[in-house]
Amino acid sequence: MASPGTVQFQEKVRRMLSKQNGKPVLKPNRALALKDTVANRKLYKGEATCVTEMSILMACWKRNSFLDSLCSSEIDTFYTCVKKAQAARKAKSEESNVSEGRLTPKQATSLLKRFPNPRTEV
């Protein structure tokens, strides 16, 4: 069932498109109907991790003429941070696939093709 806000919005769009009061306010260049496909975009990856560890490592390299042997502790710290971040990302992706309730674009397109929208304007 449509919410009252949706009904009010649809009425406003109908009023703006109608020719009752002379010239319509809106003149759409395409049909006002949803498509049966979703754009195939990649999901948002999130923010960068281990940036501080990386900057500490680069500063150490710069101080020591890019010798790995003198910056071994910073390298180890950076790699442990990367491993923790990868494990957290993997756990989050497994968790989000089950509980988030968000469909991938491919899943949404297949559902929309099974249950297409009516091709009529508002």
pLDDT in tens, 13-31: 777 777 666 666 667 787 7
pLDDT at 2: 61
Looking at the predicted structure, is the pLDDT value of residue 73 above 90?
yes
Q: What distance in Å separates the CA atoms of residue 122 and residue 120, rounded to the nearest whole number?
A: 7
Task: Please state, rounded to an integer, the average pLDDT across all residues of the chain.
Answer: 81
Looking at the predicted structure, is the pLDDT value of residue 61 above 90?
yes
pLDDT at 21: 66
Q: Which residues contact 5 (CB under 8 A, 6 or more apart)?
A: none
Q: What is the DSSP letter of 64?
A: T
